[in-house]
Structure 1
């Protein structure tokens, strides 16, 4: 019929897709899975091969000690070396006592200052000595004498010291020899020879003392006590 409008016919495929939308979703999911598998395969193909061999240990350097002297160089620590004990006969920093002999050499010992005692060795006895006697007695004094003798073979000088409490030296002189020097003290006097006394010789020292008894409390010649008292 020529006058009747003809409705165009729809395609079967298009109609099937339009009537079943899940088919499109399933196809899309399948395509995504395939693309994901291809991408994973390509990523694994580019990854480097795994090295199963272990790497050698790197050398370890010892850090310098900040307390060490700047002139001391830093040493490389070696794990394979260990401190070995000191072999016999090598110095270890401590003194080894010598037991080869039974005696030891004494060493001087320093004494403490607060406990130190000054020891003065006694001086050798002088060969010059004196003998005391009273020559003449007076009512207000007396004349005394010290006979000084030199027992050595060489000439020597000498000094006599006498003490008379309360007395006063009036004069002093040497009989028959050059005069010396007299000096008064608080309780007596000191007389020093003017000429050395020859070896084996003797000389008389005489003196006049006022207001004192004839016996002195002290009489010495060159530090030695006079005889005759």
Structure 2
């Protein structure tokens, strides 16, 4: 028997194995890339990352005319600091302690205005007109200190066991009387003119001449 011929390992082997061609192309591209990177680094070397940046040129001071002394800061032996190149830390200065200033000599201190208590618009004054056995006649004089006509209300409280007989205002229409246990209220029947007055009189029995309470429009009466 005759042996079959083995295929040659030349172009036929390469054609039957295409991955060999691909691998050879990749190797060639890697070699070309390495050669290109080496040429680029040799042309412009990258600066060292740890080297400091180049220093900026310092601004120059204007020349001083001859014959004039150079200004020097008073009380300081160091040279003037250049703007923008001062070694001091920048930022907002820390707030120091508040400094209290002494008042200027001769200055008048400002005072808050003092409120003067105003007199009530309508006030009352109590007095005993006449006293007799078993009772007395009292009076509350109402005075209008305002600039307008004013009505008024009297509240009178007498001692326990007392009794109100009657009330009246002479020469004017009468008002309204309301009694309660131990006292009464009287609402005026006519207003008092500005600066005028009106006298409310009342007859009490079995009561002390010193009342327990007397007010005109809520303001305490005087005279007791």
Task: Compute the TM-score of the two structures, normalised by the length of structure 2.
Answer: 0.47
* Bigger radius of gyration among the two: 1
